[in-house]
Amino acid sequence: MKSVLKLNSISHLADKYFENYNYVDACDNPDGIMLRSFKMHDYEIGSNLVAVARAGAGVNNIPLDVMSQKGVCVFNTPGANANAVKELVICALLLGSRKIYEGITWAQSLSKDEDVAKLVEKGKSQFVGGEIYGKTLGVLGLGAIGAKVANIAIDLGMDVLGYDPYISVDAAWRLSRKVKHEKELSALFAGSDYISIHMPLTNDTKGIINKETIASMKDGVCIINCARGELVVNDDLKEALKSGKVSRYVTDFPVAELLGVEGVITIPHLGASTPEAEDNCAIMAGRQLTDFIETGSIVNSVNFPNLKAPETFTHRVTIVHKNVPYMINFATKPFSEAQINIDNLMSAGRGDVGYMILDTEKEVPQSVIDELEKVDGFLKVRVIK
């Protein structure tokens, strides 16, 4: 029986996918791993491990380069928590526009006064804020979450500018036609009263909100970050708050240097913290992980190419390899020498990683697998059946 290790607590709704597995909280050398926020950078990767499934979108807690080198497929669950994050972004938008947080904090301080109602009427003017209706929201990144934020902002009566140089066809179909797609980031910055960030953290996007980009924004802009804290240079942001260039910064990623800073509202990373989101992510992660283990099909991998194989097969071998020329030739040669006909061969590549699925009617002997494992550039050879 194959083993799947839970490195975090996972919604019980994923259990149904692991009824035929040893699905445990402790295991020395699992075949698969389910996790949420567990940091795997120092985790020792066992020889049996073929896949890791992250019940969430971000994968910065997983060493993708190391996983790829060892032939381990990493999955995430894009869109599964999108509604939960979208709702928090709308809350952040209102917190950034109206002085709701400050007003609530002040009201709590009146608990010892007898005539609270009178004090409230007298003191509420200090918490006056603006409406979002008719204002312009700039959305950086139009994936599953960004598209939902853009669409609901349209429904709330806002004008919306969107920026995403890598927008997919599916994402474009989901996006309201009223969203204006800006081709230049500078145009979005210059035209937005509010900016909501929904980009992944990469070498290209790290610190994308910085002294230079802030300078190109409208005076008094409100910035919302429910994506990743490292997308914003905090020191530059604090200077912009002092000068009034930025009116508010609402972030779902509290760090020490932002706590107590005037104009900063820190939310304790609640973006996907709903039972519904955790259930959705667990279900998607469980389905993707078991599908890969049992059939070799890949959907929503962040380091391997997506490759959907037929669910019906007699015998199947999969090969993770370096994405270089002649790999297919090296793969088919041992089959030919063993006089085994390959009935179906599927292949795809992504960056430095290539992936093959080979189906046969005849059972593949260990001698063929041994020859495949000797090939320089083959990272992991696996017999599915």
Q: Tell me which of 36, 54, 198, 228 is the catalytic residue.
A: 228
Kindly state the helix (H) or strand (E) to which residue 115 belongs, with its residue range. Answer: none
pTM above 0.85, yes or no: no
User: Stretch 100-129: mean pLDDT, rounded?
Assistant: 87
pLDDT score at 29: 95
Q: Quick one: tokens of 239? A: 């200077």
Q: Tell me which residue has tokens 């942001």.
A: 237
pLDDT band at 286 (very low <50, low <70, confident <90, very high): very high
State residue 201's pLDDT score.
87
| 8 A C-beta contact, residue 74 and residue 34 | no
Strands in the chain per DSSP E: 3-6, 22-24, 32-35, 51-54, 73-75, 136-140, 159-163, 180-181, 194-197, 221-225, 246-251, 264-266, 315-322, 342-350, 353-360, 378-383
Question: What distance, in Å, lies between the first and last C-alpha atoms of the chain?
Answer: 14
* Mean pLDDT along residues 113-124: 84
Q: What is the mean pLDDT of residues 11-22?
A: 96
Reported confidence tier of residue 202, pLDDT bands at 50, 70, 90: confident
Residue 257 designated active-site: yes
Mean pLDDT of 314-324: 97
Which candidate in 121, 131, 184, 257 is catalytic?
257
Q: Enumerate domains of the chain plus CATH numbers.
A: 1-81+275-304 (3.40.50.720), 82-266 (3.40.50.720), 311-379 (3.30.70.260)
**pLDDT above 80 for 8:** yes
**Average pLDDT in the 123-146 region?**
93
CA atoms within 13 A on the CB side of 133: 2
* Three-state secondary-structure class, residue 356: strand
pLDDT at 168: 80
Structural contact between residues 145 and 82, judged by C-beta atoms closer than 8 angstroms: yes
Q: pLDDT grade, residue 169 (50/70/90)? A: confident
Q: What six digits make up the tokens of 379?
A: 């990272």
* Distance (Å, whole) CA 282 – CA 163: 30
Angle between helices 275-295 and 82-97 (to 10 degrees): 150
pLDDT of residue 172: 83
Q: What is the pLDDT of residue 111?
A: 79
Q: What is the pLDDT of residue 173?
A: 86
Helices and strands per DSSP (H, E), number in the chain: 12, 16
pLDDT at 122 over 90: no
> Would the pLDDT of 112 be above 80?
no
Q: Quote the pLDDT of residue 220.
A: 97
Q: Write down the pLDDT at residue 174.
A: 86
- Tell me what pLDDT residue 377 has: 96
CA dist., res. 306 & res. 292, Å (int): 11
Q: Is pLDDT at 113 greater than 80 in this prediction?
A: no
Q: Confirm whether 41 is a catalytic residue.
A: no
The predicted model gives 245-272 an average pLDDT of: 95
Q: Residue 262's pLDDT is what?
A: 94
159 neighbors 135 (Cβ within 8 angstroms):
yes
The reply to whether 269 belongs to the active site is yes
Tell me the pLDDT tens digit for each residue of 335-344.
999 999 999 9
Dist CA 56 CA 14 (whole Å):
13
Give residue-wise pLDDT tens across range 334-381. Answer: 999 999 999 999 999 999 999 999 999 999 999 999 999 999 999 999
Asked if pLDDT for residue 170 goes beyond 80, the answer is no
pLDDT of residue 89: 98
What is the tens place of the pLDDT at every residue in 57-78? 889 899 999 999 999 999 999 8
Check 98, 174, 269, 315 and give the catalytic one: 269
When pLDDT is cut at 50, 70 and 90, the band that residue 171 belongs to is confident
Average pLDDT of span 301-307: 96
Task: Give mean pLDDT, residues 227-249.
Answer: 97
* Neighbour count for residue 45 (Cβ, 10 Å): 16
Mean pLDDT of 11-36: 96
Summarize the confidence of residues 17-25 as an average pLDDT: 96
Tokens at residue 169, please? 């066809």
